[in-house]
A and B are shown apart, each in its own frame.
Chain A
Amino acid sequence: DTEVTQTPKHLVMGMTNKKSLKCEQHMGHRAMYWYKQKAKKPPELMFVYSYEKLSINESVPSRFSPECPNSSLLNLHLHALQPEDSALYLCASSPRTESLEKLFFGSGTQLSVL
């Protein structure tokens, strides 16, 4: 199993809603990542978890709240988002943060904020 599974694939939410994005991998990877990708742009790193601990937060607004409940799961909790937060949110994993040569991406959640 070399998959990173993200749910939902599509999400539409209002600015007052609270929603969560989920990511799962069963490759035994201990590093997991959230990226944000706007249309026709490269992915931008948001958060990195290493051994279930947050190791990098790229100055992301607090309306995005990551959570890593165990080594296989990564969540991104969303609250009071703005329309400019509409984007493709990609989860990725690698064996360790040093092992970016073995980085696997999920297919993403396409988020629209109305």
Chain B
Amino acid sequence: GNSVTQMEGPVTLSEEAFLTINCTYTATGYPSLFWYVQYPGEGLQLLLKATKADDKGSNKGFEATYRKETTSFHLEKGSVQVSDSAVYFCALRAPERRQLTFGSGTQLTVLP
């Protein structure tokens, strides 16, 4: 079946530190991959996406590259801000499915 595995949190960083949140997946075929962000008390917002191997999604300084050979889609940001504190979800959509499969989420806290 399809599944997404994220690194366990919580992750606590100082402002301007480098961020990596690992995400690996299991799926048949070539899934589309997503990162969603959820700020406290809010719904999920699409942060970035990639639909084929070697694609790089980017938004607001965040980046993730679709790596077919390692079945990974790690989220990175060079310099985090306090306002990046949120829960981050990795997700996939398998080609034959009309649903998203979410990872368990990673809580990020950035300290000033």
Q: Which residues of A contact B (CB under 8 A)?
A: 4, 6, 40-43, 45, 48, 56, 90, 92, 97-98, 100-101, 103-108, 110
Asked if B32 is at the interface (CB within 8 A of a chain A CB), the reply is: yes
Render B44-87 as a binary contact track against A, CB cut-off 8 A, 1 for contact.
Answer: 11100101000000000000000000000000000000000001
- Taking the nearest CB of chain B, how far is it from the CB of A33, in angstroms? 9
Q: How far is the CB of B45 from chain A (nearest CB, A)?
A: 7
Find chain B residues with CB under 8 A from A56 CB: 98-99
Q: What CA separation (Å) do A98 and B96 show in the bound complex? A: 10
Q: Are B46 and A103 in contact (CB under 8 A)?
A: yes
Contacts of B107 in A (CB 8 A): 40
- Among residues of B, the one whose C-beta sits closest to the C-beta of A6 is B43
Judge whether A42 and B42 touch: CB under 8 Å. Answer: no
B93 and A100 contacting across the interface, CB-CB below 8 Å: yes
Q: Choose among A42, A103, A106, A108 the residue with the greatest number of B CB atoms under 10 Å from its CB.
A: A42
**Distance between A13 CB and nearest chain B CB, rounded to angstroms:** 19
Whether A42 pairs with B104 at a CB distance below 8 angstroms is: yes
In the bound complex, do residue B105 and residue A105 qualify as a contact, i.e. CB atoms below 8 Å apart?
A: no
Q: CA–CA, A42 to B99, complex, Å? A: 13
Q: Verify if B102 is at the interface (C-beta below 8 Å from A).
A: yes
- Contacting pair B42 A101 (CB below 8 A): no
Given contacts A43-B44, A56-B98, A105-B44, 5 further A-B contacts (CB under 8 A): A40-B105, A42-B105, A97-B98, A98-B98, A101-B34
Q: How far apart sit A44 and B42, CA to CA, in the bound complex (Å)?
A: 16
